[in-house]
Amino acid sequence: MPRDIRLPENDLAALATGFLLSHGLNAPQAHCLAGILAASQRDGSLSHGLQRLPGTLDTMMHPRFNKHADPAPESVSPAVVRIDAQFGFSCLAAERGIEALIEKAGKVGIGLLAVTNGFHSTALWPLVERVAEAGLVGLSMNPTHAWVAPAGGTKGLLGTNPLAFAWPRKGRPPYVFDFATSAASRADIAMHRNAGKEIPDSWGVNLQGEPTTDPAEVLAGAMLPFGGHKGSAIATMIELMAGPLIGDRTSRQSQHFDQGANAAPCHGELLLAFSPDIIGGAAADEGAESLFSGFSDQNARLPGDRRYRMREASDREGIAVSAVLLERIRDLIEK
């Protein structure tokens, strides 16, 4: 029976920071990435949690990876800010860019942050949640690698392209969603393969482009978008918006850039922020709350609810981490 150990968030972040520093990553990147991994673990968002840490070694081995990246935002216009992640982990660039984004959106009503040239391996929800904490609406997206066939197609072209959104709520955590636009996550498919289980035939196609329930065939072939041609169109929009629009790679270009290093995808990331106060006036809160009450009236869950419950439990009891994973991470720390 796999055992979990519970740790305070600070201890977990310190462990992850120490791991990353021991492998030569500079302190700003190490602190930022460790904080996001610990927060994901805290919220029960395990596929983006501590288990990502060993994989960062592959990413840091990529010939273009920059352990010394020290990104600085560049103001393009009253509403647009760009930040080049300098081929380090994109989360530090995003973190540093978000301050400028919030400032611009707070003045002009809308802001756009383009993060480029970042190795991306974290969830997007911590970023949009940050925007919402400033009283703004956050929207974020990025390409990944060309694992997903477009609707009607047979070969990988689109990324698993996550979309994340946050709406600020007074006196309570924001409304937040964050999901891949593929029918299932790559991690989910791999988990089925490892467990010897079949998958629904809507998740992907084999090398011949035919639907299959064999997870190994899908991993060798192509995944499919969620929601048929509509999901496929949204995944395509994300490719365009967080790729060419901001002068960065599509998922196919990102995969080519990897050259078999098995690193986290290196690409752009788009963040938008909107000010309800400036755009629509003071009544935004009332309208939104009346919508959310329509969910609770019929016992429909808001997307962030499970994460917030996990967060409360973690804050109270410590964050659960598998003892095996903890041991593995400690073993991988360079002495």
Identify the DSSP state of 264.
P
Instruction: Considering the candidates 40, 45, 48, 232, report the single residue annotated as catalytic.
Output: 48
Torsions phi, psi of 296, nearest 5?
A: -65, -30
Q: Least Å distance between CB 156 and a copy of itself?
A: 9
CA distance 249 to 265: 10
Is 134 or 288 the residue whose CB approaches a copy of itself more closely? 288
Q: Is 47 an annotated catalytic residue? A: yes
Q: Is 256 an annotated catalytic residue? A: no
Buried b (16+ CB within 10 A) or exposed e, 191-229: ebbeeeeebeeebbbbeeeeebebbebbbebbbbbbeee
Task: Say if residue 235 is exposed, middle or buried (CB neighbours under 10 Å; 0-12, 13-18, 19+).
Answer: buried
Q: Is the CB of residue 49 less than 8 Å from the CB of residue 41?
A: yes
Find, among 269, 332, 265, 325, the residue nearest to 59 by Cα: 265
Is 17 or 212 the residue whose CB approaches a copy of itself more closely? 212
Q: Least Å distance between CB 165 and a copy of itself?
A: 5
Q: Least Å distance between CB 32 and a copy of itself?
A: 24
Q: Is the CB of residue 180 less than 8 Å from the CB of residue 251?
A: no
Is 27 or 76 the residue whose CB approaches a copy of itself more closely? 76
Q: Is 43 an annotated catalytic residue? A: no
Instruction: Considering the candidates 4, 11, 58, 188, report the single residue annotated as catalytic.
Output: 188
Q: Least Å distance between CB 226 and a copy of itself?
A: 5
Is 301 or 316 the residue whose CB approaches a copy of itself more closely? 301
| Those residues with Cβ within 8 angstroms of residue 219's Cβ, 6 or more apart along the chain or in another chain | 186, 189, 190, 193
Q: Least Å distance between CB 198 and a copy of itself?
A: 19
Is 51 or 232 the residue whose CB approaches a copy of itself more closely? 232
CA distance 199 to 54: 27
Hey, what are 244's tokens? 């060419």
Residue positions annotated with a catalytic role: 47-48, 188
